[in-house]
Each structure stands twice: as structure tokens, then as C-alpha cells.
A and B are shown apart, each in its own frame.
Chain A
Amino acid sequence: MIEFKNVALSYGQKQVLKDINLTLADTGLTSIIGPNGSGKSSCLSLMSRLQKASAGEVLLDNSPIQQIPANQLAKKLSILRQDNHTNARIQVKDLITFGRYPYHQGRPSAEDLKIVEQCIEYVDLQAVQDRFIDQLSGGQRQRVFIAMVLAQDTQTILLDEPLNNLDIKHSVSIMKQLRQACDELNKQVVVVLHDINFAAHYSDTIIALKNGELVANGSPTDIMQDSVLSHIYDMPITVTNIQGKPTCLFYS
């Protein structure tokens, strides 16, 4: 369980997050939405101990996240950020095997390698598993990093805009896999998404941020309302039911 207690974050004078109180359930898929610069990524960084809160506390299973030993935390919670910039040339399979590092500490067992193989299949990368990551397209590289996080096999998985660079087919397939991980393996997945329709379709809960404040927190049906969305994005948005699913139309 992840809890935010009066959490604030500022860079110098600039306040990025203001007094956030939030409790996330143990399982299920939560999407964080909001305009650019609303603090979504910062929120995820705080959840994953990559950043420290300026005020307040972030708790994982009732203990302050910064105090959990690094190696234990790596088996409970994993994070994939947007900026996975590296100049290292690593083979796809090797990189995904590093996802198992918290368990094998450099000496992967047969069990580890089996999980790695499954993750490669999951993200549909068998054909390129022996290539170096700098020989892949942006979308393939994104899937490699997603597979690396999946291989880490943690209860909580945090993903910052995982659908970046992905075409529709792979976006849907990644979201389906995340949905499946929640339903079948009881995982907790938190994703930052820009596409509201993706969020509405696959999430159990949607959290909306605006100017560093939590402005909405509820089920997709609660959030997918004209008034709520128009307030979040400061523009007229119409929600229509298409085949029984609330879908928002924002092209004008």
C-alpha cells in the first residue's frame, strides 16, 4: 500500500506538488492524468524514492519509503522513467536479465533466465533479443525497458508514460498485459498516461493532477464526465458512450 501524507515538493522557489494526500490500494491499475507540468512524473518519482519529498511523508506498507533498504525495496517496487538515456551498448536479453539483478546479484539462475524469456515473449521481442539496444527503433527500446521492469517481478510497478513511442498495436498490448498482471497476479500498477481514453478503458482508478494539486481521484466513470475533464484540462471536452464505454472526444 502506498500512502502520501501531506506531501509537497519544490525545486527552489517553484512548488511542483502541494499538500498531496493519497492512498493507493494494494492491487489494481491506477492511472495518473493531467496537463503538462502538473506534477505527474514528480509524483511517480516520490512514490519510487527516486526523489525525496520537501515536506510530508511517502509510506510503502506503513514504513517511510526512504528508510527501506535499497535491495529490499527493489524486490517490492519497480519504476520505469521516461528518460532512459544510455550510451551503453547492451544486448536486449542482457538488459532484461539486469531486471532480475535484485535477486541474482550478477549470477542469474535458471529460474531467472526462464522469467527473462517469458518477459521477452510478453513484449514480443524474440526476434531482436540478441541485438544491441542502439540498433532498435524507439518503440522496440521502450518495450525492452518495460520488459526489464516486468522481469523485476515486483508487487508494485510504476511506469512513467509507458506508451511513449509505441504504435497503437503495441500500446494496446502493453496495457492489456498490465491489466492482466493486475487481474491474474494481483499486482499494483501505477501509470502516468496522456491518452485519457487509454486510462479510462484499462484503469480501476484515475488520479488527476493540475498545477501540483490533486483535483480528482475516482473510478473511470467518476472521472469521465464533461465537467471534470474540462476543469482538469481547461478546455471543453465531451464524453460520449461508444459501445458502452465512456470515450472522450477532444478534437475540435
Chain B
Amino acid sequence: MTKTYLYWALVFVGLIITSLLLGSITLDSASFDWQLLSQTRIPRTIAIVLSGMSLSVAGVIMQMLANNKFVEPTTTGTVEWAILGMLLLLIFYPQASLTVKLSVSVLFSILGAMSFLLLIKKLHTRSIIMVPLVGIIYAGVIGAVVNFIAYQQDLMQFVWVWIQGDFSMILQGRYELLWFAGLLTCLAYFIADRFTIIGLGKNVATNLGLNYGYVFAIGITLVASVAGITVVIAGVLPFLGLIVPNIISLYYGDNLRRSIPLIACMGAMLALVCDILARILVHPFEIPVGVIMGVVGSAIFLGLLLRQTRHD
């Protein structure tokens, strides 16, 4: 057991070093550029690790709130709502500061996550496949609204920047808000038991003396804040919050006290792998990391869905 952890820790460190050394300019002992490292490579690597961690953990919390393993902010309309908020802000208040942008993005994410969870509550369905399908349709509808408004206002290229998760623009001074998402991940670990109990259903949670509505509200705020922050800083990073918790759950179960640290580490590693791929595949150019995650993520997602239906 300890050996496995050690092995994975080495992989993690290896990925971080690769991420630091990789880019259009080669870093080696002959041409060591400290400024390059501190202003772009280190911030970029930290940004990837923080987004990967926090999005994966946000995913598992949303899955507990929805009592369904196949939902996460990018497949249920939460990030589309965040983009809608940013788009409206761009139209009506283009000079907004980063703080205002972030607040609007988080606020709209909360609306998005809440409306989705209310929607599935109203549907009264227990079908494992139905809930994620409703989520994808709902996300499609909100996405269409975004596209319509953006098209009318000639702002499509902005929407593309937000939709395509990309770390190539990360510089020192432009990613630090992600630390807050990282902090929220730690908070999630702190109250992990409450989220696990919520995942056992409202009756069990109430029986154990938990204030269901209160924990639910904390969960939504947490998930939406992480989604909102990452959209503003890096754009949409699809499927991370879905595949990472599912793979960890397969081996270690859903007791979040135990699984959140593993989910966080694996999320960070997967994000690093995708970002490294994004940088190597068309070197010296880059593919947006969101595209890589979309391809890798949707394939694994489909595999997990098929596996689940076979088991039922």
C-alpha cells in the first residue's frame, strides 16, 4: 500500500518537473532562464495543479449532492451559466475588475448548479443514466443561449476563450485566485463526512442530526465557486470532475474522508498529463488543454457509463 503511494508520488513529482521544463524555449543548464521559470512556467504549473485538484473535488461533491455519479459542473450547465454571467458583464459593464468578474461568475455558477439540482429533484427519477442526460441537455440549452447572445453582439471569440480551457496565457499575477479554489478544496476535506452523509440521502442525513439544507447550500456554494474561479482564470476544463472521482471510487469507495486526498492528487496529475500532451503534440505550438481533456474525458466517461449499465 505505502509502496503504491510512493510510486504515485514519484510520478506526480516527475510530471511537475516535466511541466516546468516543457515549452517552446528549452530550459537546460546551458540556458537557464530564472525569469522565464518564475514568471510563466511555475505559475502555469501551479495553476494546472490547483485547477485539477479543485475541479475533481468539486465534481465528487456535486455527485454526492445529486446522488448520481455521472454529474459534474461542466456536464450540467454550471459552467455555461458562469459564461453567461461573464458575457452579460462584458456587454453591460465591460470595464469590470477581476474581482467583479469573479463574483459574477461565481454567482451565476451558483444559479446554474442550484437550478440543475432542483430540476432533477422535480424529475423524481432514480435512473442513473437519466440524470446526466438531463444535465447535458440543460447545459446545451444554456450554451445555446450564450451562443445566441454572443453571436448577436459579435462576441463569439470571447466565448471561445472561456469555453476552451487553456493554460498558455497564465502568467505571474494572473492566476493567484486559483489559490482560493485550492483553499476551498481543503475546506471540503475538513467537512468531508457531512458530504458523504448527504450522499446517503436526505432521510439518513436527517436521522443523523445533520441539517440537510444547510450542508446542501455549503456544497453548492463550494462547487459553484470552484467552477466560477476556474472558468475566469483558465476556461472550461471538461470531464475532470467526472472521471477522476469515478476511477478513485472504483478502488477506494466513496467515503470522502478517505477519497478526497486521492481525488485531489489524481485530478492534479491528470490535468498535468493533459496539459503536457497539449504542449507536445504540435510542438512548438499548443492545443488548448480543454480539447485534450474533452477527447480523453469523453472516451473514459463513455466507458464508465457502459460499465455501469452492464452492472445494472
The answer for the CA separation of A75 and B67 in the assembled complex, in Å, is 26
- In the assembled complex, A74 has its CB within 8 A of some CB on chain B: yes
Please encode chain B, from 171 to 213, with 1 for each CB lying within 8 Å of some chain A CB and 0 for all others.
Answer: 0000000000000000000001110110111011011111100
- Asked if A87 and B209 sit within 8 Å, CB to CB, the answer is no
Residues of A within 8 A of B126 (CB): 85
The secondary-structure label for the interface of chain B is loop
- In the assembled complex, A173 has its CB within 8 A of some CB on chain B: no
Please encode chain A, from 68 to 88, with 1 for each CB lying within 8 Å of some chain B CB and 0 for all others.
Answer: 001111110011110111111
- Asked if B254 and A89 sit within 8 Å, CB to CB, the answer is yes
A70-B210, A73-B209 as given contacts; A88 in contact with B254, CB under 8 Å: yes
What's the minimum C-beta distance from A155 to chain B, rounded to whole angstroms? 14
- Interface size for A (C-beta < 8 A) is 33
Residues of chain B in range 54-81 having any CB-CB distance to chain A below 8 Å: 64, 67-69
- Asked if A74 and B255 sit within 8 Å, CB to CB, the answer is no
- Asked if B193 and A87 sit within 8 Å, CB to CB, the answer is no
Interface centre among B126, B194, B207, B257 (most CB of A within 10 A): B207
- Interface size for B (C-beta < 8 A) is 27
The answer for the CA separation of A75 and B208 in the assembled complex, in Å, is 8
Please encode chain A, from 166 to 204, with 1 for each CB lying within 8 Å of some chain B CB and 0 for all others.
Answer: 000000000000000000000000000000000000000
- Asked if A71 and B69 sit within 8 Å, CB to CB, the answer is no
The answer for the CA separation of A75 and B68 in the assembled complex, in Å, is 29
Q: A74-B207, A106-B194 are in contact. List 6 more A-B contacts (CB 8 A).
A: A72-B209, A80-B207, A85-B67, A89-B249, A90-B254, A98-B196
Can you list 17 contacts pairing A with B, beta carbon distance less than 8 Å? A50-B207, A70-B209, A74-B207, A74-B208, A79-B203, A84-B201, A86-B199, A86-B204, A87-B69, A87-B128, A88-B67, A88-B199, A98-B196, A98-B200, A102-B208, A106-B192, A106-B257
